[in-house]
Amino acid sequence: MQKRWFLTMVAVISVLGTLAFVRANASADEALALQEFAQEGEFQGQSIAFPHNTHAGEYQIDCQYCHFSVERSKSAGMPPVASCMGCHTFVEGQQNPEEVAKLREYWDARQPIPWSRVYKVADHVYFPHMRHVSAGVDCATCHGNVEEIGVIERLNQPLTMGWCLSCHIDMGASIDCTVCHY
Ligand code: HEC
Ligand code: HEC
Ligand code: HEC
Ligand code: HEC
Ligand code: HEC
């Protein structure tokens, strides 16, 4: 696998000479990709219709209360069920009590909630959240205004290499192949 990846790298090393081209085409590329759902065919809906607008918008809960590792780790982190229950032991939900009931079932069964992923880069790509957060890139740049979104179902940005590179060029971050590829 490692070797195959290396050979692919060599085959496309010509990319180096065409970075300008990649950049010029990034926006057309992105417009196309944005029309599609994340991992088309894979997103099966969420186990629980978790509304970001209610939590992060209306009740202004900090993103990092739930995505606790976003400043210090590669992964943003997903909240354990216990952190939901701090409130939902009491809060039954006025609009969608059946969704809160599902949450309580996972809690009673001591099961983690199997969230479906929307934002996911390919396995050979390394994306470190902490580096972006510490460089001052806002969550919304990549994820949109999450505090206004009900259930997150689609990407705000296409996660193509062109998208990564064009921002790295703009912000003077590294475009060395090995920083993003294992
Ligand atoms: C700090 C308190 C708090 C935490 C933590 C919290 N919630 Fe909520 N949640 C609320 C409040 C308040 C509402 C709005 C209830 C209402 O309007 O009746 C709500 C609404 C909901 C709803 C929609 C129900 C409705 O009728 O609006 C779901 C589903 C939900 N929460 C799931 C979760 C999950 C899953 C977690 C953990 C990842 C979580 N909540 C963490 C306070 C919290
Ligand atoms: C009360 C807890 C809570 C808060 C506060 C919260 N989130 Fe989330 N977030 C979740 C849960 C639970 C999921 C998984 C369900 C889903 O994808 O909708 C999630 C999923 C996401 C995802 C999609 C991950 C994926 O690839 O599937 C993004 C992006 C995200 N949150 C960003 C944010 C941002 C930005 C904020 C602040 C504006 C925020 N979240 C605030 C609990 C929270
Ligand atoms: C520069 C773009 C960018 C910024 C800024 C960013 N994210 Fe992400 N986020 C991504 C990408 C790309 C993924 C997919 C990562 C992967 O597959 O490894 C992702 C995945 C996630 C996930 C899914 C779980 C995970 O860790 O993979 C959550 C939750 C999330 N981001 C929340 C946030 C929050 C909260 C912020 C702000 C504090 C934020 N992100 C800032 C691009 C970004
Ligand atoms: C909106 C701008 C933006 C986007 C989009 C973006 N990045 Fe970055 N990236 C940055 C900035 C700024 C840094 C911080 C550079 C620093 O710390 O000096 C960074 C740093 C990194 C680093 C650490 C580089 C190093 O020198 O060690 C990696 C790896 C990385 N990004 C991967 C990605 C990947 C993969 C994507 C696309 C999925 C992506 N980035 C999308 C702005 C962006
Ligand atoms: C800033 C991060 C970043 C840098 C730097 C970067 N790439 Fe990528 N690359 C990505 C992302 C993200 C993808 C996945 C795109 C997708 O899934 O659509 C990707 C995909 C690829 C693919 C396609 C693999 C496939 O699955 O089809 C190849 C080949 C590749 N990159 C080679 C390179 C080479 C060679 C360099 C150095 C000139 C480089 N990359 C630099 C982020 C980066």
- The residue type found at 104 is R
Residue of 161, 165, 166 to mutate, ligand 5, most atoms within 8 A of C-beta: 161
User: Is the CB of residue 37 less than 8 Å from the CB of residue 154?
Assistant: yes
CA of 36 to the centre of ligand 4 (A): 24
- 165 CB within 6 A, ligand 2: no
**Residue 54, pLDDT above cutoff 70:** yes
| Average pLDDT for 149-178 | 97
Kindly give, in sequence order, each residue whose CB lies less than 8 Å from that of residue 119, ignoring residues fewer than 6 positions away.
Answer: 38, 142, 143, 155, 159
* Residue from 146, 142, 136, 155 nearest 71 by CA: 136
Ligand (nearest to CA of 142): 3
Determine which residue's CA is closest to atom 15 belonging to ligand 4.
173
CA pair distance 81, 78, nearest whole angstrom = 9
**Distance from residue 139's CA to the centre of ligand 3 (Å):** 7
Nearest to 158 by CA among 179, 144, 175, 174: 144
Average pLDDT, whole number, for the chain? 83
Tell me how far apart the alpha carbons of residues 47 and 83 are, in angstroms, rounded to a whole number: 17
pLDDT at 143 over 60: yes
Tell me the CA–centroid distance for residue 100 and ligand 5, in Å. Answer: 40
The token duo for 4 is 């195959």
Q: Label residue 91 left, alpha or beta by phi (over 0 means left) and psi (-120 to 50 means alpha).
A: beta
Ligand nearest to the CA of residue 92, numbered in listed order:
1
Atom of ligand 4 nearest to the CA of 121: 38
User: Does the pLDDT value for residue 27 go beyond 80?
Assistant: no
96 CA closest ligand 1 atom index: 26
For 65-100, write each residue's pLDDT tens digit.
Answer: 999 999 999 999 999 999 999 999 999 999 999 999
Ligand 3 within 6 A of CB of 152: no
Q: What are the residue ranges spanned by the domains of the chain?
A: 37-78+115-180
Eight-state DSSP code of residue 116: P
Tokens of 156: 């705000």
pLDDT reading at 122 higher than 70: yes
Of residues 23, 34, 17, the one with CA closest to residue 154: 34
Contacts of 110 (CB under 8 A, 6+ apart): none
Going by pLDDT thresholds of 50, 70 and 90, the confidence category of residue 182 is confident
Place of tokens 């969420």: 46
Write the residue with the smallest CA distance to atom 40 of ligand 3.
Answer: 139
